Structure 1
Amino acid sequence: MSSVEVECVVKASAVLGEGPVWEESEQTLLFVDIVGQKIHRWTPLTNEIQSVKTGDTVGFAVPRRCGGYVAGVGRSIVAVDWSTQAMTSLVEVDEDKPNNRLNDGKVDPIGRLLAGTMGKEQRPTEVQKQQGSLFSLTSDLTVTRHLSQVDISNGLDWSLDQKTFFYIDSLSLTVDAFDYDSNSGRLGNRRVVYRMEEGEGFPDGMTVDAEGRLWVACYSGGRVINIDPATGVRLQTVSLPVTKTTSCCFGGPGYCDLYVTSASLGLSESDSGSQPLAGHVFRVRGLGVRGRPSNSFSG
């Protein structure tokens, strides 16, 4: 068994770093700072970081098949032209809930975007509950609401056969699964795959590896846990030097590296002193597993 190495690779100083996506074509890592209102793009080869300001909270940014990105800014799903930094609103969600914002989003294997909302935080980790929803957006910009009364819509990914959708509503302290019809995008048969244990914190962003196992970042838990969704068993725990681990994705050569984002939001002065790396991005090597390529939005 190779030894696991955790290294701080991007000194992003994010308030709420989130949503890492590996772009194979560019060999870059895309991620956002939700509260800092920025989309970042980091090139490991040159250690260069480029950023675009979004002007409002940004829950996610994902590649688009026709070029550029789509991002969840405030309650709008917007097209981002990276070269000009221009943003164009495509659709708005939750029009009746001005205090909501988009949170995590990811693209399914056929190019459909799934993204969720949550009530804005009154204070760090104090969220107005059951305000959020989970939406999908198809290439013709049709919006469908799949779930409502969500507290914090978070981690999402699909099984290898695309028949199961994994989903996290963070405050429920569970990782859930749905039957998924990739043709229609319909969800059904919700069930719990894993319940968080004492000390593991809140389940946040998530990714599925090439063996179909889940890797879940644990907010306030300072770790990423590896779960077998077939048995509900935790197989491995990766500890990080920051408590607010937010999300993760595989990338790098052969998708062997696990990138983990983190937050500095709401840390006390003493916590900040003991966690100088809070808000940075980490690379975990030696896990002995690979990830899968990300999907691009078809619209």
Structure 2
Amino acid sequence: MSAREEKVELVVKNCGKLLEGPHWDGANDTLIFVDILGNAVHRYHPQTDKLQSVKIDENVGAVVPTKDGRTLIAGRHSFSFLDWTSGKLDQIAAVDSDKPDNRFNDGKCDPAGRFWAGTMGPEKKPAEVLLNQGTMYCLNTDLKVTSHFDQVNISNGLAWSLDHKTMYYIDTLPGYLDAFDYNKETGEIKNRRHILKVPNNEGLLDGMCIDTEGMLWVAMFSKSKVNRYNPNTGEKLKTITLPATNVTSCCFGGKDYDELYVTISAEGISEEELQKQPLAGSIFKVTGLGVRGLPANIFG
């Protein structure tokens, strides 16, 4: 498809503060996502254009569907199952007990159904945090938690290569997109290395997803765009421009996984700046990209 056929459209207007973690729930044809600082989990039904929301009593960093139909979240300090009706949480395991000001930020399931999510330190304002306070955790399918590495600044995007041998990972502040050797059977990761360095004028690497060609789509916080990269060469292949600054994450969805859903934050933007970008804190959909994504891995 030519670039002229690409279309960026608003799908959910002004629905939160710090929108993050979009996942397409293929079993229900819905988009699930979180408002981290608004303490809310959202479920958008494109067929009816309805938004279902549930407030919880803590920050929520990530949400994923599960094989048994329940919804699993990484809240402020813990993994929990969420009851959509009551907003109550059934806690599975808590983390970072020695760091009460930490919180989860972004997470995703791996090809074997484990839920990976990382924490970050206290934040003065967007992208300004106490450094090296976070840890990458994994909730295994037996509901036991393992920690894989620490010294994390802002734990962010995750994706797995098409052959399931590589885990891609973003810690936002250093400006690198990293890769690990990944063992699907054991969940072990090793050999961390930088595969891409992004210039400052491109923005801050945030959430990401992968397409069926093995290319990575990365939200570029502070620069109003999503970039597509070749993880094998580091080449930037495409840029999608959005109508607000703080783009946080993206995922493929829709019946054919050819629609790119994008979350944008309104947090930390001045009142004056919000006048110029009134659609901050909204969800967008990009079509006509000529590529498709993969169904999200689900827990269990």
Normalising by structure 1, report the TM-score. Answer: 0.97
The amino acid of 2:170's aligned partner reads: I
Match of 1:223 in 2: 225
The amino acid of 1:120's aligned partner reads: P
The amino acid of 1:203's aligned partner reads: L
User: Runs in 1 of length 4+ with deviation above 3 angstroms?
Assistant: none
2:143 alignment partner, one of 141, 144, 148 = 141
The amino acid of 2:219's aligned partner reads: A
TM-aligned CA deviation for residue 22 of structure 1: 0.5
- Mean Cα displacement is larger for which, 12-21 or 286-295? 12-21
Match of 2:234 in 1: 232
1:46 aligns with 2:53: no
SS at match of 2:249: strand
Partners of 1:125 and 1:14 in 2: how far apart?
A: 18
Match of 1:207 in 2: 209
Partners of 1:161 and 1:46 in 2: how far apart?
A: 36
Q: Deviations over 1:44-77 (max 9, x none)?
A: 1111000011211100010011121110111011
Answer whether contact 1:200 1:218 (CA < 8 A) is retained: yes
SS at match of 1:278: coil
Partners of 1:169 and 1:191 in 2: how far apart?
A: 12
Q: What aligned pairs does 1:55-134 form with structure 2 within 5 A after superposition?
A: 55-134=57-136
Match of 2:261 in 1: 259
- Mean Cα displacement is larger for which, 66-75 or 254-263? 66-75
Partners of 1:86 and 1:265 in 2: how far apart?
A: 25
Consecutive unaligned residues of structure 2, counting only runs of 5 or more, are: none
Q: What aligned pairs does 1:236-255 form with structure 2 within 5 A after superposition?
A: 236-255=238-257
SS at match of 1:98: coil
TM-aligned CA deviation for residue 84 of structure 1: 4.0
Answer whether contact 2:14 2:279 (CA < 8 A) is retained: no
Q: Deviations over 1:155-180 (max 9, x none)?
A: 00100011000000000111111100
Answer whether contact 1:13 1:278 (CA < 8 A) is retained: no
Partners of 2:207 and 2:127 in 1: how far apart?
A: 15
The amino acid of 2:276's aligned partner reads: S
Answer whether contact 2:127 2:173 (CA < 8 A) is retained: no
Match of 1:184 in 2: 186
TM-aligned CA deviation for residue 96 of structure 1: 1.2
Partners of 2:176 and 2:6 in 1: how far apart?
A: 26
Partners of 1:170 and 1:79 in 2: how far apart?
A: 27
Partners of 2:290 and 2:165 in 1: how far apart?
A: 26
SS at match of 1:97: coil
Partners of 2:141 and 2:61 in 1: how far apart?
A: 20
Q: How many residues align?
A: 298
